[in-house]
Amino acid sequence: MSVRRLAPKEIQPEGFAFTPENTAWAERIIAKYPEGRQASAVISLLWKAQEQGGGWVSEPAIRTIADLLKMPYIRVLEVATFYTMFNLQPVGRYFIQFCGTTPCRLRGAQDIQDVLEQRVGHQGHVTEDGLFSWLEVECLGACCNAPMVQINNDYYEDLTPESFNKLLDDLAAGRPVKPGPQNGRVASEPLNAINTLLEPSLYDGSVVGSWRKRFEEEEARARAEAAAKAAEEKAAAEKAALAAREAAVPEPAKPATTRAGEQVADTPAHRVAEGKEPIKPESQQAAAPDTAPKAADRAADDKTKG
Amino acid sequence: MAKLIVDGKEIDVPAEYTLLQACEAAGAEVPRFCFHERLSIAGNCRMCLVEVKGGPPKPTASCAMNVRDLRPGPNGEPPVVLTGSPMVKKAREGVMEFLLINHPLDCPICDQGGECDLQDQAMAYGVDSSRFAENKRAVENKYIGPLVRTSMNRCIHCTRCVRFVTEVAGVPDLGAIGRGEDMEITTYLESAMRSELQGNVIDLCPVGALTSKPYMFKARPWELLKTESIDVMDALGSSIRVDARGREVMRVMPRVNEAINEEWISDKTRFIWDGLKTQRLDQPYVRDNGRLRPATWQEAFARVAEKVKAAAADRIGAIVGDLAAAEESFALKSLLQRLGSPNIDGRQDGTVLDPILGRASYIFNATIAGVHEADAVLLVGTNPRREAAVLNARLRERWRGGNLSVGVIGEPVDLTYTHTYLGAGPETLAAVADGTHSFAEVLKNAEKPLVVVGQGALTRPDGLGVLSLAARAALAAGAVKDGWNGFSVLHTAAARVGSLDLGLVPGEGGLDAAHQAAGGVDVLFLLGADEIKVADGPFVVYIGTHGDQGAHRADVILPGATYTEKSGIYVNTEGRAQIANRAVFPPGQAREDWAIIRALSDVLGHRLPFDNIAQLRQSLFVSHPHLARIDAVEPADPVAIERLAALGGAVERAGFESPVTDFYLTNPIARASAIMAECSALALGVTRQAAE
């Protein structure tokens, strides 16, 4: 980072005005923001002005945008000088942003920089023919294809001094160039020896859907296990019930629901609510002659309550 | 209200307080650079770090944290703030070390030395050395106008100046370009700032990055004699401090006065001081054969006595100028009374205001601080930005608070806040008064409407009609009621309200200023009256300070004292009597004006009954007791406004024009000032060159 200044007066254009289509575009952008917040469009407009102005933001452009957004000039200047992607000095037709951050450096960015310094000159310098200028920037996020440069809107990756020289030659001659890796590989695929993902089954279709199959199998297995366990538990419970009956331990009339909050399902009130017949004392007597309340006890009980 | 514990002391403060305010309320001192009570909070200097228990385990910027955002302890105990803990101490030392990394060690050649926040706080909260061995940053100096000198190496990026010009002054010329270490404060392409309050950034700057250009390398703060006084450049009577060394005024600084100027002053107030030394009248002159020649006091007095004795009583007149204190006005009035002349006028601009209409008809009844309460403002024939820049800043502050509609009748001007332009002249005012204008509804719906009438509406032949119309508009809007009097007259001259309070208007059969100047009298005393053209004919005795228009026309010049050279009572536009103190002595043979009049009265054979200023004030207070109540506003009876409204009167069609066409050159002192001349030229766009 260094102090960023507007270009000297001599090279500033006379004036700046958005083209009709850019004006329409700008109006659409400005309309996105609520009344009184039009200044929010300043970055979009500066970006458009840079695009229209040949890759850099001129002083008249700053004033034009400020007038358009009803901002003080200094406010727009603040934004334009804050963001380093706004070029304040003229750039070449092919503006090369050269990545000089660690991964690229490790992969030979210094050689690319040497090419730039030889062919184009120092940073920020525009070649005589107006074609090239370059700037070292921080990581552009294409480390897997290091070293790389960005020329205008496209990435050119996997550069060597030779391929980069050729790229610049092609650009200078107006020949078509291919963005992306310059060493023949596609995107960030492996370049030569393939060391990973070598299993043939990965590629014969046999593993397509294999993950689902595995999941289904696991699910089925889990289900079978659960069923087996449930059957086992049921058998154990039956066995226990049988043993209990054999032991003839007197059972309480109420279900043994002891856990707090658990509702006792079989009370006279529940039976009524569910539309069932209430249990008559006679049947209670028949079911458990030892523990069922006797008619005489019940009468005595009613008396004490009453 | 919220409870919190600051350094072990439990206090109860409003929840919207910042921690910094709460700490101050608890008596703890918190250093700061970017925080300023009257500006928005930036929180970028980090000097005000404190430790907050229960907060994140790191120091907190106390200026940017609200009390209401603090968390109580686990058992509901109040939050705890520490301003003296080891963590805070370490944090402050660290911040100070960072600030000093790029700050040059040029205190010995820095104008801020001795009154520098960074210097003081480095002494109080810093450490004695730096661990930084690299090169310091170097920043180019910027041209931002003829008043403010920049030394940008010293800037610590507090952005107080940017916030001031954007928020208070309302002329957002300053900005911070670049970022990080490379951030630089500048104006757009280094053009001059256009605010008339820009000098305040010098006071706001906590370091020596922005210093006064005219005062550059002139003096050190500790060698200056500081005198608290009152400004006379406009009718607000801003509180100032006059810093003098020996017999020379070195600079003028603002004092805090919440009722008037808060802590701002206009550039005219601040930078006028070089005009106090140039073009001065330092000895008496008399005109012989059409040429002024230096004379002795005796000669001059003898010449005046000769002419006065030869003239009939009603052919003697006096015009009191814009900078006269109440004492000399009173002395001159007493002298005229003794001479038997009714011809005295303290309204050289020809304003129609008259004490006979009642005091409420000529003061700023709402008071300057009352502007904060207003919710609708009608400006009639005034441009407060030029006539009372500090009041305009107040109006802007009120406008920033929201819910304020401002209507302007007069010239379409940029007031730095949004307003509705209603029209140019009396017709629009009549429409508002009659309720036919849409703005009348706005005023009527307002709780506390404020009608400000400027001299642009009153210094016209139909001024009385306009004044009456304005009173009617104020009454129709309900601006005059219990607890609120929104009918306010904004003056442009510091002496005017005092003159009107003293009754400096023509007596029975007397001539007003315009008639006197046109030749209605044979002997004419001008007490610092320079803004009126005197026709050939009258014998002019000029009592004043500067070789301006009045002195050029004079037949006898009696050199007087400026506002920094005498003790005098001035009544500001809201009717507040304030006392200006003497900072230095008048130059050469010049004397205090009241003493000149007293001496002259002796020669004329009508000796005035006071020998010193105390006796003069005694008799002044006997006849005008409210002048004795210094710093208090004497409220006026609003009945006068109803009478005024009933007065009626014809009005013309011509639009109102502010009498202050050039903010920087409104009085003889300002016209003698080279700095003001440069500012004026710059404002008019004549020249745009970098001084220095």
Name the residue among B404, B472, B481 with its Cα closest to residue B432: B472
For residue B362, count other CB atoms closer than 10 A to its CB.
29
Q: Helix (H, G, I), strand (E, B), or coil: what is residue B339?
A: helix
Looking at the structure, tell me whether residues A73 and A107 fall in a common domain. no
Sign of CA dihedral A20, A24, A30, A36: positive
Interchain CB contact of B622 with A (< 8 Å) = no
Q: Which residues pair with B580 in a beta bridge?
A: B568
List the Cα angle A170/A174/A177 in 5-degree steps: 50
pLDDT interval class at B56 (50, 70, 90):
confident
Looking at the structure, tell me whether residues A99 and A72 fall in a common domain. no
**Mean pLDDT for the stretch of residues B338-363:** 94
| Calpha distance A296→B655 (Å, rounded) | 115
**Alpha helix ranges (H) inside B375-485:** 384-387, 389-400, 426-434, 438-445, 455-458, 463-476
| Calpha distance B339→B322 (Å, rounded) | 23
With respect to residue A147, please indicate whether it lies within any of the assigned structural domains: yes
Interchain CB contact of B173 with A (< 8 Å) = yes
Q: Of how many residues is chain B composed?
A: 692
CB-based burial, B501-529: b 16+ in 10 Å, e otherwise = bbbbbbeeebbbbbebbbebbbbbbbbbb
| Calpha distance A292→A48 (Å, rounded) | 93
| Calpha distance B317→B535 (Å, rounded) | 14
Interchain CB contact of A75 with B (< 8 Å) = yes
Cα-to-chain-centroid distance, residue B525: 28
Nearest residue, CB atoms, A74 vs list B174, B178, B182: B174
Q: Which residues of B touch A35 (CB under 8 A)?
A: none
pLDDT at A212: 82
Looking at the structure, tell me whether residues A100 and A168 fall in a common domain. yes
Which pTM value belongs to this model? 0.85
Cβ contact, residue pair B189, A6, below 8 Å: yes
For residue A296, count other CB atoms closer than 10 A to its CB.
8
pLDDT at A247: 77
From A162, A181, A200, the end of a domain falls on A181
pLDDT at residue A254 above 60?
A: no
**Mean pLDDT for the stretch of residues B419-432:** 94
Cβ contact, residue pair B176, A78, below 8 Å: yes
pLDDT at A244: 82
Task: Kindly report the nearest CA distance between residue B98 and chain A, in angstroms.
Answer: 19
Percent of chain B with pLDDT over 70: 99
DSSP code of B176? E
By 3-state DSSP, what share of chain A in percent is helix, strand and coil, each rounded to 5? 50, 5, 45
pLDDT at residue B569 above 70?
A: yes
ipTM, two decimals, is: 0.90
Percent of chain B with pLDDT over 90: 93
In degrees to the nearest 10, what's the CA dihedral of B29, B31, B32, B33? 140
Interchain CB contact of A269 with B (< 8 Å) = no
Nearest residue, CB atoms, A74 vs list B172, B178, B181: B172
Nearest residue, CB atoms, A74 vs list B175, B178, B181: B175
| Calpha distance A103→B320 (Å, rounded) | 82
pLDDT at A253: 58
Task: Kindly report the nearest CA distance between residue B438 and chain A, in angstroms.
Answer: 24
**What are the tens digits of pLDDT across the range B592-644?**
999 999 999 999 999 999 999 999 999 999 999 999 999 999 889 999 999 99
Q: Is the peptide bond before B559 cis (omega within 30 degrees of 0)?
A: no
Average pLDDT, chain B: 93
Interchain CB contact of B188 with A (< 8 Å) = yes
pLDDT at A264: 56
With respect to residue A4, please indicate whether it lies within any of the assigned structural domains: no
DSSP code of B595? H
Q: Are A157 and A114 in contact (CB under 8 A)?
A: no
pLDDT higher at A203 or A26: A26
Q: Which residues of A touch B179 (CB under 8 A)?
A: 1, 81-82
pLDDT at residue B689 above 50?
A: no
Q: Are B544 and B551 in contact (CB under 8 A)?
A: yes
Q: Helix (H, G, I), strand (E, B), or coil: what is residue A10?
A: helix
Tokens of A138: 């921080």
Nearest residue, CB atoms, A77 vs list B179, B180, B188: B188
| Calpha distance B574→A26 (Å, rounded) | 50
Looking at the structure, tell me whether residues A123 and A69 fall in a common domain. no
pLDDT at residue A300 above 80?
A: no
Tokens of B372: 């904060």
Interface test with A, best of B188, B198, B418 (most A CBs within 10 A): B188
Q: Which residues of B touch A78 (CB under 8 A)?
A: 175-177
pLDDT at residue A295 above 80?
A: no
Phi, psi of A231 (to 5 degrees): -60, -40
Interchain CB contact of A59 with B (< 8 Å) = yes
In degrees to the nearest 10, what's the CA dihedral of B112, B114, B115, B120? 110
Task: Kindly report the nearest CA distance between residue B432 and chain A, in angstroms.
Answer: 29
With respect to residue A66, please indicate whether it lies within any of the assigned structural domains: yes
Half-sphere exposure of B84 (CA within 13 A, CB side): 10
Q: Which residues of B touch A74 (CB under 8 A)?
A: 172-175, 177, 186-188
pLDDT at residue A207 above 80?
A: no
Interchain CB contact of A39 with B (< 8 Å) = no
pLDDT at A48: 96
Q: Using H for helix, E for strand and C for coil, what is the string for B142-156?
A: CCCCCCEEECHHHCC
With respect to residue A268, please indicate whether it lies within any of the assigned structural domains: no
Instruction: Tokens 């208090």: give the residue.
Output: B632
Q: Are B431 and B468 in contact (CB under 8 A)?
A: no
| Calpha distance B110→B215 (Å, rounded) | 12
Q: Which residues of B touch A7 (CB under 8 A)?
A: none
Looking at the structure, tell me whether residues A106 and A175 fall in a common domain. yes
Looking at the structure, tell me whether residues A77 and A104 fall in a common domain. no
Cβ contact, residue pair A78, B175, below 8 Å: yes
pLDDT at B690: 41
pLDDT at residue A45 above 90?
A: yes
Tokens of B95: 């911040």
**What are the tens digits of pLDDT across the range B299-312?**
999 999 999 999 99
Nearest residue, CB atoms, B182 vs list A3, A73, A77: A3
Task: Kindly report the nearest CA distance between residue A102 and chain B, in angstroms.
Answer: 22
With respect to residue A145, please indicate whether it lies within any of the assigned structural domains: yes
The residue of chain A nearest to residue B185, with distances taken between CA atoms, is A78
Cβ contact, residue pair B184, A3, below 8 Å: yes
With respect to residue A238, please indicate whether it lies within any of the assigned structural domains: no
Tokens of A67: 């007038």
**Mean pLDDT for the stretch of residues B646-667:** 92
Cβ contact, residue pair A74, B181, below 8 Å: no
CATH code of the domain containing A21: 1.10.10.1590
The residue of chain A nearest to residue B182, with distances taken between CA atoms, is A3
pLDDT at B668: 95
Tokens of A302: 């009613």
pLDDT at A261: 52
pLDDT at residue B148 above 80?
A: yes
Interchain CB contact of B180 with A (< 8 Å) = yes
Q: Which residues pair with B406 in a beta bridge?
A: B377
| Calpha distance A33→A38 (Å, rounded) | 6
Average pLDDT, chain A: 87
- Domain count within chain A: 2
Residue A230 burial class via C-beta count within 10 angstroms: exposed 0-12, middle 13-18, buried 19 and up: exposed
Q: Are A90 and A7 in contact (CB under 8 A)?
A: yes
pLDDT at B228: 96
Structural domain including A75 reads 9-82
Residue pairs spanning A and B at CB distance below 8 A: 41
Nearest residue, CB atoms, B177 vs list A2, A59, A81: A81
pLDDT at B511: 93
**Mean pLDDT for the stretch of residues A67-96:** 95
Cβ contact, residue pair A74, B179, below 8 Å: no
Give Cβ neighbours of residue A66 (< 8 Å, ≥ 6 apart). A72, A73, A75, A76
Q: Helix (H, G, I), strand (E, B), or coil: what is residue B60?
A: strand
pLDDT at A194: 79
In degrees to the nearest 10, what's the CA dihedral of B11, B12, B15, B17? -50
Beta strand pairing status for B539-544 and B556-559?
A: parallel
Name the residue among B554, B137, B601, B521 with its Cα closest to residue B328: B601
CATH code of the domain containing A175: 3.40.30.10
Cβ contact, residue pair B173, A74, below 8 Å: yes
Identify the weakest region by mean pLDDT among A273-287, B59-73, B512-526. A273-287
Half-sphere exposure of B427 (CA within 13 A, CB side): 6
Interchain CB contact of A74 with B (< 8 Å) = yes
Tokens of A20: 């009709």
With respect to residue A111, please indicate whether it lies within any of the assigned structural domains: yes
Beta strand pairing status for B60-61 and B49-53?
A: antiparallel
Give Cβ neighbours of residue B390 (< 8 Å, ≥ 6 apart). B197, B234, B236, B238, B260, B261, B262, B264, B265, B266
pLDDT at A296: 60
pLDDT at A286: 72
pLDDT at residue B436 above 70?
A: yes
**What are the tens digits of pLDDT across the range A272-293?**
777 777 777 677 677 766 665 5
pLDDT at A205: 78
Contacts 24+ apart (CB under 8 A), B676-684: B676/B268, B676/B271, B676/B272, B676/B275, B678/B146, B679/B146, B679/B147, B679/B267, B679/B271, B682/B145, B682/B146, B682/B192, B683/B194
From A57, A82, A107, the end of a domain falls on A82
Give Cβ neighbours of residue B688 (< 8 Å, ≥ 6 apart). B191, B192, B682
From A36, A62, A82, the end of a domain falls on A82
The residue of chain B nearest to residue A83, with distances taken between CA atoms, is B178
Cβ contact, residue pair A81, B187, below 8 Å: no
Task: Kindly report the nearest CA distance between residue A9 and chain B, in angstroms.
Answer: 10
| Calpha distance A282→A289 (Å, rounded) | 10
Looking at the structure, tell me whether residues A77 and A126 fall in a common domain. no
| Calpha distance B276→B673 (Å, rounded) | 8
**Alpha helix ranges (H) inside chain A:** 20-31, 42-52, 59-69, 73-82, 102-106, 109-119, 161-173, 210-247, 268-273, 281-287, 295-305
**What are the tens digits of pLDDT across the range A82-129?**
999 999 999 999 999 999 999 999 999 999 999 999 999 999 999 999
Instruction: Tokens 């006679």: give the residue.
Output: A282
**What are the tens digits of pLDDT across the range A156-171?**
999 999 999 999 999 9
Interchain CB contact of A195 with B (< 8 Å) = no
pLDDT at A266: 67
pLDDT higher at B167 or A297: B167
**Mean pLDDT for the stretch of residues B232-246:** 95
**Mean pLDDT for the stretch of residues B369-397:** 95
With respect to residue A234, please indicate whether it lies within any of the assigned structural domains: no
CA distances from A303 to A293, A299, B72, B194, B550 (A): 15, 6, 61, 104, 124
pLDDT at B691: 41
Q: Which residues of A touch B189 (CB under 8 A)?
A: 6, 59, 73
Task: Kindly report the nearest CA distance between residue B165 and chain A, in angstroms.
Answer: 12
Interchain CB contact of B177 with A (< 8 Å) = yes
Cβ contact, residue pair B177, A73, below 8 Å: no
